[in-house]
Chains A and B, each alone.
Chain A
Amino acid sequence: MKKFVLSICFMVLFFCFGLLCLREESFSNDENRLLVKRSFGQTLLLESSFQDQFLYRSCFLEYSTKFKKLVGVRENNQVYFGRDGYLFEQTHALKDKDKLVSSLNGFYKKHNDLNMSLLLIPSHITVRPDLVSGVPVFDEYQEMKSLYRQIQFNVIDVVDVLKEHSMEYDMYYHLDSHLSSYGAYYVYQKYAELNDFDFLPMDRFHVEVVTDSFVGDLARRSYLFSLKKDRIVRFVHQDVDHLYFDEALKSNDMYGYFLGDDAVVTFVNDDQKNEILVVKDDDANVLIPFLVNHYSKVHVIDVNRYTDSISDYLESHKEIKEVVFIYGMNGLEKVL
Chain B
Amino acid sequence: MNVCSILFLCFFVPIFYSVYYLIPSRFKNGWLLFGSLLFLVLRSSHLIWYFLVSSSFTYVGMHVLSNLPRNVSRKKILLWMIGILILIWLLFVRLDSVYSVIYGIILLHNIGTLLDFKKRIPTIFSYFTYVSCFSNLLLGPVLSYFDMEEELKSRKVTKEDFSDGVFSLVKGIGIQAILITFLSMCLDGLLLEKTILSSFVVIILTMLQVVLWFRSYFEISFGLSRMLGFHFEKCVSILDLGIFSWFKRYCGGFPKWVWFLLSAFLFGMNVNVVLWFLILAIVGTRSWLFLLSFVLLVQPSVLDFLLGFKHVPMSNFVVNYEIRSYLLMILISFGVVLFGQARKRFSGVQNVFYVVLVFLILIFLVSGTSNSIWAFMI
Contacts and interface: CB of A to CB of B under 8 A. Distances in A.
A223 interface: yes
A136 B366 contact: no
A60 B167 contact: no
A73 B326 contact: yes
A13 B6 CA distance: 12
Nearest to A17: B10
Contact of A7 (B5, B7, B44, B167): B167
B87 interface: no
B115 interface: no
A14 B14 contact: yes
Contact of B360 (A6, A50, A67): A67
Nearest to B350: A3
A64 B358 contact: no
A126 to B, nearest CB: 16
B146 interface: no
A47 B7 contact: yes
Contact of A10 (B2, B166, B317, B327): B166
A50 B7 contact: yes
Interface residues of A, number: 37
A6 B354 contact: yes
> Which of B14, B317, B355 has the largest count of A CB atoms less than 10 A from its CB?
B14
Interface string B342-360: 0000100001001100101
A54 B366 contact: yes
Given A10-B170, A72-B327, A134-B324, A2 B346 contact: yes
Interface string B8-30: 01110111011000000000000
Given A4-B159, A7-B162, A10-B358, A135 B366 contact: no
A54 B365 CA distance: 10
A43 B43 contact: yes
A47 B162 contact: no
B281 to A, nearest CB: 35
Contacts of B14: 11-12, 14-15, 18
A33 B18 CA distance: 36
A209 interface: no
Given A43-B1, A63-B363, A7 B329 contact: no
Contacts of A64: 363-364, 366-367
Contacts of B341: none
A11 B366 contact: no
Contacts of A101: none
Given A18-B14, A71-B328, A74-B325, A50 B6 contact: yes
A43 B366 contact: no
Contacts of B363: 60, 63-64, 67
A51 interface: yes
Contacts of A51: 6, 365-366, 368
> Which of A12, A63, A75 has the largest count of B CB atoms less than 10 A from its CB?
A63
Contact of B5 (A2, A12, A47): A47
Contacts of A136: 317-318, 321
A6 B347 CA distance: 12
A61 interface: yes
A46 interface: yes
B105 to A, nearest CB: 18
B163 interface: yes
Contacts of B15: 15
A65 B364 CA distance: 10
Contacts, number: 110
> Which of B17, B364, B365 has the largest count of A CB atoms less than 10 A from its CB?
B365
A262 to B, nearest CB: 35
Contacts of B6: 17-18, 21, 47, 50-51, 54
A57 interface: yes
A65 B185 CA distance: 13
A254 to B, nearest CB: 25
Contacts of A46: 7, 42
B362 interface: yes
Interface in A23-64: 43, 46-47, 50-51, 54, 57, 60-61, 63-64
Contacts of B354: 6, 10
> Which of A2, A74, A136 has the largest count of B CB atoms less than 10 A from its CB?
A136
Nearest to B317: A136
A147 to B, nearest CB: 23
Contacts of B358: 10, 13
Contacts of B185: 73
Contact of B366 (A10, A13, A61, A75): A61
Contacts of B165: 7
Contacts of B166: 7, 10-11
Given A51-B6, A72-B325, A14 B366 contact: no
Interface in A60-116: 60-61, 63-65, 67, 71-75
A144 B360 CA distance: 43
> Which of A10, A15, A51, A73 has the largest count of B CB atoms less than 10 A from its CB?
A10
B366 A60 contact: yes
A60 B360 CA distance: 9
Given A3-B346, A7-B163, A223 B367 contact: yes
Given A2-B346, A11-B14, A47-B6, A72 B326 contact: yes
Given A6-B351, A7-B163, A60 B10 contact: no
A14 B9 contact: yes
Nearest to B178: A67
A223 B364 CA distance: 13
Given A46-B7, A50-B5, A51-B365, 6 more contacts: A3-B167, A4-B160, A11-B13, A67-B360, A72-B327, A72-B328
Interface of A: 1-4, 6-7, 10-15, 17-18, 21, 43, 46-47, 50-51, 54, 57, 60-61, 63-65, 67, 71-75, 134-136, 223
13 contacts: A4-B159, A4-B160, A4-B163, A10-B358, A11-B18, A11-B166, A15-B10, A17-B6, A17-B362, A21-B10, A57-B366, A63-B363, A71-B326
Shortest 5 CB-CB contacts between residues of A and residues of B = A18-B10, A64-B367, A7-B166, A15-B14, A7-B163
